[in-house]
Chain A
Amino acid sequence: MLLFLTRRIGLMLITALCLTFIVFALTNMPAKLKTLAKTQAGGRLTDAEVVSWINENGYGTPMLTRYGEWLGVVPGWVREEDGVVVRGRCVDLTNDPGRAGERCGLLQGDWGYSTRFQDNVGTVLSARLGATGLLMMWVLIVMVPMALITGVLAGMREGSRTDRTLSTFAIASTATPEYVSGVVFIALLASSTVGISPILAEWGWIDGRVLFQGNARSAIEGITLSNFTLPVLTVALYGMGYVARITRASMTEVMTQQYIRTARLKGVGFASIVMRHALRNALIAPFTVIMLQIPWLLNGVVITEVLFSYPGFGWTLYEAAVNNDIELLLASSVVAVVVVLVTQLISDIGYVYLNPRIRIS
């Protein structure tokens, strides 16, 4: 078990290293740096000014050196004028000229500086991750029970009318990406001119003009049913169908097993068979899938947060990518990779734990 964990964590580190290097290389291409210079220092820079901006802000050194700086294995860049340290990687980050020439990168716990938000990446990301964590929590609270109930009900009696209806619903939900369901939800529920909100308002069933809000920015101050329902539903809907289908497949397989037949022949009632005999075994596969679904939901989170302008991790990633905010993008990709690999690890370990027939070798 220990060997397995060490190997997995080692693999994780190598993957993260490769990925961040790719992101670094792609964001540090000369053309991209030029765009960055123009967005940071005003649009009308001449080519010479662009070059000097790049050199002044520490982007002039070779790429591998700068990647080392970011990792914290190479001392940060320093710019001196008349023998006095003016700027430097560590100086800018900590406002302490004494630290010039030291290493300050990932290994030292410094995530760098975000050019888009004009703040330390660590500060920006931790706040945004909290917001997304909240969103994900509610998504899972809505999605998992819905998916499991749909799957179990459909798989209980294969081929029945319930099965057909629920399976079609699950397929439809996997066919509706977030930007489609979000748009439909907003048009249907959050518009004061069309959909059902004007009707409800006319009947006096709702106080405001709309049933739910199509903008979740206010959810940062406080989550209410009105501003958080639509984003949560949008993310949950797309992920739900897949988990439901896996649950259904797993349930139908379990229902054909010998021990279920034995239980039936013993005269156990159908409800009791499903609840006590089938469910435990049928939920092993969905567990792994739910864990693997989390990184996938991350994509949906980006789309949903942009659509509902909810300032979480996904929205930050989008802003960073649009503005070529190098260090924020790198930190975001580290977070994303860690989420992917940790959920994979949990799903593997959980699978072994739930299913005693499998041993880690």
Chain B
Amino acid sequence: MDPLSWLQIFARLAQQLLPVWIALVLTFGLSIRYRRRLGLYGKLFDSTVGMIGFGIVLFWVFSAIFADLIITHDALSQVSRMRNAVPGSPLPDPGDLYPYYLLGGDSLARDVFSRVIMGAREVLRIAPFAAMISFMIGITLGLPAGYFGGKLDTGLTFLANLVLAFPVILLFFLLVAPEIQETIIPLIMAGVLFIAPILFLTVLLNARFFTQPQKRNLYVGGVLLIGAWAYIGLVFNADPTGIWSMSPNLLNVFVAVVFVNAPTVFRIVRGITLDIKTRDYVAAAQTRGEGPWYIMLWEILPNARGPLIVDFCLRIGYTTILLGTLGFFGLGVSPESPDWGSTINAGRRLLTVYPHPALVPALALMSLVLGLNLLADGLREESLRD
């Protein structure tokens, strides 16, 4: 068989990505149709920049979801004589396999296209979740630091600055080293970091519903039950049902990324809190006799949501970059993992001769982060408008 031309390659890529196109068209069609009823999300569709960003992000999200339908080959299987094959090369003896390597083969004769799509799944499984945990920790610590001030504020700010003064890469090398993994340190850090979301939700609901004990007991009890379940599974990897689980390797990466992100979120939340606590509605709540946690979580936090949502998008992008950095230095991921950072790292040795194994994941990573940044920009524009 002849190798494919670039036009044919793109046509076949588009064909493979069909589930993504369908999902994209459906989402955009429905969202634009009902955008007036969808609040800030609906307003996003008034801004071209935001819409483009959202489209790129959704493209990768759907690629990750439908990865099994999209990939042409198994991300780990090697096909002989396809080592460093150029994009569009036909398989020598396809059998019932897909007859081409659409974006070429890497140095171990695996399909670059399938690995990039599976890599999206790896990245999108960790990045948003890590950003979310970072936010919950940053909020849980930043609100009281800004609201109460005093010694608490001084201490927490010092700790945050301490972590921020660390060169990120040194921190990664120290925390994600295989020797550290066998010690108790990641476990302790995970134990501390994962308790923050549970605390956050418990206090959030308790502050709102403590006047209605029945409702409160129901909600808080539910949160504690699910929280404890997830906690056992994630931290100790001992969930009997196996729904919540994280390999020690992944846990370590996760903890390192959260640890780097949380202090920045803390500083942002603290800054916003310092600003908002001087507003009249906070004074009104204080006069009504509301408790400090109610004021922080139900008066200040909702009014800080604009900048926080924008930063959340940026932070997912930054987390993606950090994960790529980890992969680039070969930290905390197995060598055959298809995540983008380690694929770039593997491809850079033969970069000047066979650029495609490194170039494809590099462009994928860039486009995802770019999409998230554009989305954040669009959201900022729209949230400033009202």
Contacts and interface: CB of A to CB of B under 8 A. Distances in A.
Interface in A165-182: 167-168, 171-172, 174-177, 179-180
A303 B353 CA distance: 21
Interface stretch (B22-30, B136-144, B172-180, B268-276): B172-180
A193 interface: yes
B352 A172 contact: no
Contacts of A332: 170
A15 B165 contact: yes
Given A179-B341, A180-B362, A332-B170, A187 B355 contact: yes
Interface residues of A, number: 53
A317 B169 contact: yes
Contacts of B185: 26
A243 interface: no
Interface string B217-230: 00000000000000
B328 A321 contact: no
Contacts of A303: 169, 325, 328
Given A15-B165, A336-B170, A194 B366 contact: no
Given A171-B377, A177-B324, A317-B170, A183 B344 contact: yes
Contacts of B164: 340
B369 interface: yes
Given A187-B359, A317-B170, A341 B165 contact: yes
Nearest to A241: B373
A234 interface: no
Interface in B355-377: 355, 358-359, 362-363, 365-366, 369-370, 372-374, 377
A26 B180 contact: yes
Contacts of B9: none
B373 A175 contact: yes
A19 interface: yes
Nearest to A33: B179
A354 interface: no
**A interface: dominant SS:** helix
Nearest to B49: A168
B21 interface: no
B182 interface: yes
Interface in B322-347: 324-325, 328-329, 341, 344-345, 347
B247 interface: no
Nearest to B374: A171
B317 interface: yes
Contact of A171 (B174, B355, B373): B373
Interface residues on B, range: 35 or more
A27 B177 CA distance: 10
Nearest to B317: A175
Contacts of A141: none
A15 B365 CA distance: 35
A193 B86 CA distance: 12
A183 B370 contact: no
Given A175-B317, A177-B325, A180-B362, A191 B344 contact: no
B366 A340 contact: no
A340 B352 contact: no
Nearest to A34: B179
Interface string A321-332: 110100001001
B352 A299 contact: no
A189 to B, nearest CB: 10
A26 B373 CA distance: 35
A31 B353 CA distance: 40
B324 A336 contact: no
Contact of B351 (A186, A333, A341): A186
A71 interface: no
**B interface: dominant SS:** helix
A333 B177 contact: no
A321 B158 CA distance: 26
Contacts of B348: 183, 186, 307
B286 interface: no
A187 B360 CA distance: 11
Contacts of B353: 191, 193
A246 to B, nearest CB: 14
B115 to A, nearest CB: 16
A176 B183 contact: no
A192 interface: yes
B167 A35 contact: no
A299 B169 contact: yes
Contacts of B345: 179
Most-contacted residue by chain B among A29, A179, A307 (CB, 10 A): A179
A32 B177 contact: yes
B166 interface: yes
A60 B331 CA distance: 28
A298 interface: yes
Contacts of B369: 175-177
Nearest to A329: B170
A18 interface: yes
A302 interface: yes
A337 interface: yes
B164 to A, nearest CB: 8
Contacts of A183: 344, 347-348, 351, 355, 358-359, 362
Nearest to B367: A175
Contact of B325 (A172, A179, A295): A179
B297 interface: no
B174 A302 contact: no
A88 interface: no
Contacts of B325: 177, 179, 299, 303
Contact of B174 (A27, A168, A210): A27
A214 B165 contact: no
Interface of A: 11, 15, 18-19, 23, 26-27, 29, 31-32, 34-35, 167-168, 171-172, 174-177, 179-180, 183-184, 186-187, 190-195, 210, 214, 295, 298-299, 302-303, 306-307, 317-318, 321-322, 324, 329, 332-333, 336-337, 340-341
12 contacts: A29-B183, A175-B317, A175-B369, A175-B373, A176-B369, A183-B344, A183-B355, A184-B359, A214-B352, A299-B168, A306-B329, A321-B174
Given A172-B370, A298-B167, A333-B166, 16 more contacts: A15-B158, A19-B162, A19-B165, A23-B174, A29-B179, A174-B373, A175-B369, A175-B370, A177-B321, A180-B363, A187-B358, A192-B352, A295-B167, A317-B167, A329-B170, A336-B166
Q: Which A-B residue pairs are the 4 nearest by beta carbons? A: A187-B355, A321-B173, A31-B179, A175-B370
